[in-house]
C-alpha cells in the first residue's frame, strides 16, 4: 500500500515536472495557415482582407509582416483579386522566399488608399482600416513590429508613398511600384526610411516620371537609403518583375525599423 508520504512526494515531483514545461497557447499553436479571409472593422466601416501565413508557421517565433496594397483593378468586395496579384502571386510561385505574414486588404470600389493618393480625396478611412487589418495580423500571428513592410502597385504604389509618409516610424521599409506621390509634402517625412521603388520605362498608365520625382525628392531630403529600379521596355505591369526579384525580397526582409 502506498503511504501518504510517498503520495505527497510523487505529487511534488509531478508538479515540478509540469512547471518545467513551457506554457503554449493552444489557440496560437493551432492558427490556420495559407490564404485566409478576414474583416477589419472601425465602427460601422468594414474592410475585407486576406492574410497569408506560411505552412510552417509557429507562434514560438516572431514573423516579419508585409502590408500589400493592390491596384485600382482589384477594388471591390471579393477578396480573391487582391491575393492573386503582386505579393500573392509571388508567394504562390516562390513560397520559400516569403517566410512572413502578408496582409492584403481590399479597397472598395470608388475609393483609394488614403486622402493623399490622388484617387479619392475622402478615402482616409480606407487607409485607417488597412492599418487596422495590419495591427490585427501582427497581434494574431506574433508579428515582429520592427520588421513590418509596406508595398503596393499602381494605385497601391501611390498608397505606399502616402501611408508611408504619414506613418514613417511604423515601417521598416517601403517598396512602391509604378506609383507616385507628392514630393513637396512627402519627401521630408521619408528622409530616414529605406525605400526601393520600381517602375517600367514604357508605362503609359502611370508615367515613370512620377516615381523619378519622388525618388529624387527623397534623396534631396537626405535619404541615402533609397533605391530605384526602372525596367527597360516594361509597361505598366512592373510588379511581376519586382516581386519576382529574389534580391529585392531578400533586401526587404533584411530591413529593420530604426536601423
Please give the Cα distance from 75 to 194 (Å, whole number): 28
- Per-residue pLDDT of the chain (259 residues), as tens digits, is 444 444 444 444 444 443 343 444 444 457 789 999 999 999 999 999 999 999 999 999 999 999 999 999 999 987 788 899 999 999 999 999 999 999 999 999 989 998 655 555 567 899 999 999 999 999 999 999 999 999 999 999 999 999 999 999 999 999 999 999 999 999 999 999 999 999 999 999 999 999 999 999 999 999 999 999 999 999 999 999 999 999 999 999 999 998 7
Q: Would you call 169 helix, strand, or coil by DSSP? A: coil
Sign of CA dihedral 209, 213, 215, 220: positive
pLDDT digits (tens, 9 = 90+) for 143-166: 999 999 999 999 999 999 999 999
CA torsion, ordered 171, 187, 177, 90, to nearest 10 deg: -10
pLDDT digits (tens, 9 = 90+) for 164-198: 999 999 999 999 999 999 999 999 999 999 999 99
Q: Write down how long the chain is.
A: 259
H or E stretch including 199? strand 195-200
Which CATH number does 31-254 carry? Answer: 3.40.50.1820
Report yes or no: 65 and 147 within 8 Å, Cβ to Cβ: yes
Terminal Cα-to-Cα distance of the chain (whole angstroms): 66
Q: Would you call 32 helix, strand, or coil by DSSP? A: coil
Amino acid at each position: 500500500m502506498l503511504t501518504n508520504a510517498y503520495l505527497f512526494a510523487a505529487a511534488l515531483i509531478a508538479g515540478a515536472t509540469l512547471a518545467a514545461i513551457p506554457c503554449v497557447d493552444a489557440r496560437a499553436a493551432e492558427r490556420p495557415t495559407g490564404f485566409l479571409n478576414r474583416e477589419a472593422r472601425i465602427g460601422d466601416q468594414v474592410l475585407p482582407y486576406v492574410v497569408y501565413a506560411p505552412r510552417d508557421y509557429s507562434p514560438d517565433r516572431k514573423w516579419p509582416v508585409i502590408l500589400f496594397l493592390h491596384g485600382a483593378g482589384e477594388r471591390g468586395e471579393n477578396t480573391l483579386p487582391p491575393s492573386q496579384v503582386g505579393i500573392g502571386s509571388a508567394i504562390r510561385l516562390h513560397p520559400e522566399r516569403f517566410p512572413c505574414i502578408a496582409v492584403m486588404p481590399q479597397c472598395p470600389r470608388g475609393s483609394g488608399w488614403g486622402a493623399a493618393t490622388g484617387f479619392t480625396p475622402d478615402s482616409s478611412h480606407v487607409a485607417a482600416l488597412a492599418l487596422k487589418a495590419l495591427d490585427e495580423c501582427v497581434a494574431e500571428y506574433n508579428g515582429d513590429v520592427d520588421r513590418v513592410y509596406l508595398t503596393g502597385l499602381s494605385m497601391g504604389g501611390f498608397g505606399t508613398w502616402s501611408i508611408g509618409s504619414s506613418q514613417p516610424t511604423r515601417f521598416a521599409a517601403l517598396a512602391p511600384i509604378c506609383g507616385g506621390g507628392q514630393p513637396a509634402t512627402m519627401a521630408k517625412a521619408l528622409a530616414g526610411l529605406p525605400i526601393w521603388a520600381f517602375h517600367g520605362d514604357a508605362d503609359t498608365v502611370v508615367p515613370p516620371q512620377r516615381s523619378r520625382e519622388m525618388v529624387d525628392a527623397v534623396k534631396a531630403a537626405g535619404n541615402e537609403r533609397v533605391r530605384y529600379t526602372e525596367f527597360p521596355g516594361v509597361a505598366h505591369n512592373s510588379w511581376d518583375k519586382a516581386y519576382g526579384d529574389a534580391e529585392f525580397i531578400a533586401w526587404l526582409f533584411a530591413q529593420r525599423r530604426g536601423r
